[in-house]
Amino acid sequence: WSGLSMWNARLPSSLRLASAGSVDVTALRGPADAARVRRFTLTARPAVIKLASGRGVEALTFDGRSPGPPLRVRQGETVEVRLRSLLPDRGVTLHWHGYHVPNGEDGVPGLTQNAVREGGEFVYRFRADQPGSYWYHTHETPNRALQAGLFGMFTVDPVTPEGFDEPVALHTFGGALTVALADAPPADGLATRTLSPGTPVRLRVANTDNAPHTLGVSGVPYRIAAVDGLPVTGRILRDERAQLAAGGRYDLVFTMPSRPVLMSAGAAGLLLTPGVGAAPAPSAGPLIDITRYGSGGTEAPRRFDRSYTWVLDRLIALRGGVPRLSHTVNGQVWPRVAPALVKQGEWIRFTVVNRGGEPHPMHPHGHHVLVLSRDGVKAAPIWMDSFDVGPGEVWEVALRAGNPGVWLAHCHELTHAAEGMTLHLAYD
Ligand code: C2O
Ligand code: CU
């Protein structure tokens, strides 16, 4: 995964940059001109960031910050982000995790663009027509560079946000799980904010780590109002917790009571206080199953145009010509995993089987999938872009082919992806 063309070098020629069968990836770009344009510039550079405790961590940053500057736009605007690089030793791109950008804006080096090298730049443009909670991150050696800090939050608001409405990143810096809000250094411990009772609260929590985190809210009944950016209708939770897949987002919604509230994930947390009262204990209630929690309001399709099975495992497979223990899809490592071919307008069913002993948070680029069932139990159903297939589990998901191009789908435990648990979704 090193060098300019990590995805390109070993690709079958039919999938190389700018020529994917009949699809010209680099032509699939966002609008060239538009009325309401929101412009941002992000400069990738190394920096030492300070955690809330004062501890310094060597990081890779956008504009000297990690998480990078929060990008927040209004639905209907056109987003223009100029990425510049001052990274001496590696390339960088911006991938819009969960957001359905045109394929040429997807930020996959060697597939949709070349990585930006030191002194270079790339301009991303797309319409913000999909409201919700998303995030951006580099896709060049992301198993190292994203974890080292090259990521930030991206939010599209349908209306003016009210109350305390904040993206919150759960990210491990220097071995410590932190809670990072937009306007403060990552808190390795408790972040605290004072809010008056009655304030509407929406915490847009993103798991930017490689492993799942279990989170919950204590001190007030709450709802998960959106999963992976898309609204769900689900019941009120009281002290219950939910597991958030690597790459996934939950919008946690409640009204600030007259006593403190704690959103916690392990030892990290966000304490919201009206200024009086003691912090509640971290929630310790039962885990809900997100696939049965709420509904995205979509009927599951009854028939499918094609079906694919992905068996996820850890096997000895050839990597760079050498047999090595690798994370595999259908017994192969990327780029030898057969691409899933799709056609515009089709419904595709994927059966994802985890034969290994670790969770695999699967993430298709450019699309959400509709979860149909988990281990034979029917799902709500619910749309997700990052779904945790646990050890031994079988998930059935459906994808509606509506965003032409050549896309990656991979495990968001990014060391697994780097070892081969990656494939292409290719429109023909
Ligand atoms: Cu956040 Cu290819 O992923
Ligand atoms: Cu994995």
- Token representation of residue 124: 């991303």
Instruction: Kindly indicate whether the domain formed by 13-157 is annotated with CATH number 2.160.10.10.
Output: no
**Structure token pair of residue 186:** 């990552």
Predicted confidence at residue 162, as pLDDT, reads: 94
Is there an atom of ligand 1 within 6 Å of 247 CB? Answer: yes
Sheet with strand 37-50: strands edge to edge: 56-62, 37-50, 78-85, 121-127
pLDDT of residue 318: 84
The C-alpha angle with vertex 237 and arms to 234 and 241, in degrees rounded to 5, equals 105
- From residue 155, alpha-carbon distances to 131, 189, 229 in Å are 7, 25, 9
Q: Which residues contact 334 (CB under 8 A, 6 or more apart)?
A: 410, 417, 420, 421, 422, 423
pLDDT-derived band at 5 (thresholds 50, 70, 90) equals: very low
The pLDDT value recorded for residue 23 is 62
CATH number of the structural domain 164-288: 2.60.40.420
Model confidence at 22, in pLDDT bands (50, 70, 90)?
low
Distance separating alpha carbons of residues 177 and 32, to the nearest angstrom: 40
Kindly give, in sequence order, each residue whose CB lies less than 8 Å from that of residue 320, ignoring residues fewer than 6 positions away.
none
Q: Using DSSP, state whether 50 is helix, strand or coil.
A: strand
At 305-350, the pLDDT tens digits run 999 999 999 999 888 889 999 999 999 999 899 999 999 999 999 9
- Ligand with an atom nearest the CA of residue 355: 2
Dihedral angle, C-alpha 234, 236, 241, 246, nearest 10 °? 30
Long-range contacts of 314-322 (CB under 8 A, 24+ apart): 314/356, 314/357, 314/358, 317/420, 319/419, 319/420
The complex's ipTM works out to 0.98
Give the distance (Å) from ligand 2 centre to CA of residue 223. 28
Backbone angles phi, psi at 192, to 5 degrees: -130, 140
Tell me the average pLDDT of the chain: 93
CA–CA dist 316, 320 (Å, integer): 13
Rounded CA-CA distance 415/312 in Å is 14
The ligand minimizing its distance to the Cα of 312 is 2
Q: What's the token pair of residue 336?
A: 């030898």
Is any ligand 1 atom within 6 A of the Cβ of residue 294?
A: no
- The pLDDT value recorded for residue 157 is 98
Question: What are the structure tokens assigned to 272, written together?
Answer: 């919201």
Tokens encoding 57: 């961590």
Percent of the chain having pLDDT more than 70?
94
Ligand nearest to the CA of 209: 1
Is-contact 139 92, C-beta < 8 A? no
Q: How far does residue 362's CA lie from ligand 2's centre (Å)?
A: 7
User: Is 408's C-beta closer than 6 angstroms to any atom of ligand 1?
Assistant: yes
Q: How far is the CA of 278 from the centre of ligand 1 (A)?
A: 39
Domain ranges of the chain: 13-157, 164-288, 306-427
Domain over 306-427 is classified CATH 2.60.40.420 = yes
392 CA distance to ligand 1 middle (Å): 23
Measure 365 CA to ligand 1 centroid, in angstroms.
7
Tell me the pLDDT tens digit for each residue of 97-130: 999 999 999 999 999 999 999 999 999 999 999 9
Q: How far apart are CA 171 and CA 160, in angstroms?
A: 27
Instruction: Name the pLDDT band for 35 (thresholds 50, 70, 90).
Output: confident
* pLDDT for 7: 43
What's the average model confidence in pLDDT over 218-223? Answer: 98
**Ligand 1 in reach of 139 Cβ (< 6 A):** yes
Does 367 contact ligand 1 (Cβ within 6 A)? Answer: no
CA distance 236 to 224: 8
Please compute the mean of the pLDDT values over residues 259-283 and round it to a whole number: 96
Query: What global pTM score does this model have?
Result: 0.94
pLDDT in tens, 339-352: 999 999 999 999 99
